[in-house]
Amino acid sequence: MCSHWFPVWLLSTFPNRRIILASYEATFAASWGRKVRDSIIDGYSQGMVPITIRQDVAARNEWDVEGFEGGMFTTGVGGAVTGRGGNLLLIDDPTKNAEEANSPTYREKGWDWYRSTARTRLEPDAPIVLITTRWNKDDMAGRILEQEGNDWEIIKLPALAEPGDPLRREPDEPLWPNRYGEEELAQIKLDVGSYWWAALYQQSPTSREGGMFERSWFEIVDEAPEEARRVRYWDRAATVGGDFTSGTKMSTIDGITFFIEHVHRLRGTPGKNADEITGQAHVDGRHVRVRMEQEPGSSGKDTIWMYKQLLEGFDFKGDPVTGSKELRAENIAIDAEAGNVKLVRGDWNQAFLDEIDDFPHGVHDDQVDSTSGAYNALAKQKRPARSYQG
């Protein structure tokens, strides 16, 4: 409605207006430019729209209205808008995904583009329309609300109605019950976790200063099923005497419930740590797969090659990771909140809970890194499909 039909109406009514539309990437933004252009051409041919497009300026990312000054230009957030004035700025989904939303660098880049590039290209009294899913309290919408909130009209449509709903729904009434009813939304909330539910579905992202995990989510049990699949995942410390090298042994029998069986922390020289990692593999047994975070570059490859020699006969692989530590911990945080991650009783429990309770703002994060690595290694195998209970 906002990025397709609104521009068609605006230019049909005010053909001298120029529209700038931006999105998280130029290709996606250009898809809106193409839809608007094609609808105007089709509407003109059917006598429903009083304007058409110039044949010599008709690219999907930039086109002009025949006989008038108006037209449309599309770009990605961060892209150039120099030399182009606009009577309307449409920003449709400036954030691509969770990784960008959780990255201070990406958030700052988008905000700098809005202030220094897009905002400065607008003609006097030109309106701005921002259509967005809220990913983070500090996203573009959050900063606009903080710094320019009094100048904006806000239309917030949460999945479940809150007091003062603009559609006059009763509290907790679904936004689109024929598509996502109360039971489906309850299951989604369980699947994605409270943080992403508040942000993506209720449009009310919360600060993570309080941490991603709560220790109360982790039930302590006496043992894990004997027939479970197991992995020991190692996160190696970058320096001696700083962070710990941590190895988490985790298991699952059904891909739904996970057991953290043991966490081994080391702090020594590379040679000493290699001896302990090798020794721990023999204690665990050859039925336990061994995985290790692989650092980028040739040094990371060399380290994995060395451990392959040391752990000959074991199922050992390096794991080249991507994304932030917080992003890699997202899935286990969701399952932990749902009660699907258990701790096997041991003298390491207290140190583990202390660290995970402070993550991502604590002094150390090695146990979280090795645990999320173990979880992700086990979860790569397809899970049984969830069923909705009516």
Cα 61 from Cα 24, distance rounded (Å): 14
pTM value? Answer: 0.62
Give the amino acid at 280: Q
Q: Do 118 and 140 meet the contact criterion of CB atoms below 8 Å apart?
A: no
Instruction: Give the pLDDT confidence score for residue 267 in this predicted structure.
Output: 85
Cα 99 from Cα 6, distance rounded (Å): 31
pLDDT in tens, 310-344: 999 999 999 998 888 888 898 999 999 999 999 99
Contacts of residue 277, defined as CB under 8 A and 6 or more positions apart, other chains included, come to 234, 245, 247, 266, 307, 310
Query: CA torsion, points 150, 153, 156, 157, in degrees to nearest 10?
Result: 170
Cα 185 from Cα 63, distance rounded (Å): 41
Beta bridge partners of 230: 251
Q: Do 72 and 19 meet the contact criterion of CB atoms below 8 Å apart?
A: yes
Contacts of residue 129, defined as CB under 8 A and 6 or more positions apart, other chains included, come to 2, 6, 88, 89, 90, 91
Q: Which domains does the chain have, with CATH numbers?
A: 5-154 (no CATH), 157-206 (no CATH), 215-379 (3.30.420.240)
Q: What would the 3-class secondary structure string for 122-137 be?
A: ECCCCCEEEECCCCCC
Classified as helix, coil or strand, 157 is coil
Classified as helix, coil or strand, 65 is strand
Instruction: Give the pLDDT confidence score for residue 311 in this predicted structure.
Output: 96
Structure tokens at 106: 């990406």
Beta bridge partners of 160: 174
Cα 338 from Cα 218, distance rounded (Å): 10
Instruction: Give the pLDDT confidence score for residue 385 in this predicted structure.
Output: 44
Instruction: Tell me the Cα Rg of the chain.
Output: 26
Q: Note down pLDDT in tens along the chain; length 390 residues.
A: 999 999 999 999 999 999 999 999 999 999 999 999 999 999 999 999 999 999 999 999 999 999 999 999 999 999 988 677 899 999 999 999 888 887 888 999 999 999 999 999 999 999 999 999 988 888 999 899 888 878 899 999 999 998 888 999 999 999 999 999 999 999 998 888 888 888 899 998 875 555 688 889 999 999 999 999 999 999 998 765 567 899 999 999 999 999 999 999 998 888 999 999 999 999 999 999 999 999 888 889 999 999 999 999 999 999 998 888 888 898 999 999 999 999 999 999 988 998 888 787 777 889 999 999 999 999 875 444 444 333
Cα 286 from Cα 315, distance rounded (Å): 7
Cα 228 from Cα 289, distance rounded (Å): 12
Segments in the chain forming alpha helices (H): 5-13, 26-45, 98-101, 104-113, 140-148, 182-196, 270-284, 297-310, 325-328, 330-337, 349-358, 366-379
Beta bridge partners of 21: 74, 90
The pairing of strands 341-344 and 258-266 is parallel
Q: Do 109 and 78 meet the contact criterion of CB atoms below 8 Å apart?
A: yes
Number of Cβ within 10 Å of residue 141's Cβ equals 23
End-to-end CA distance of the chain, in Å? 34
Q: Do 341 and 218 meet the contact criterion of CB atoms below 8 Å apart?
A: yes
For 230, 310, 318, the CA distances from 278, given in Å and listed in that order, are 17, 7, 15
**If you write DSSP's letter for every residue of 15-26 in order, what string do you get?**
TT-EEEEEESSH
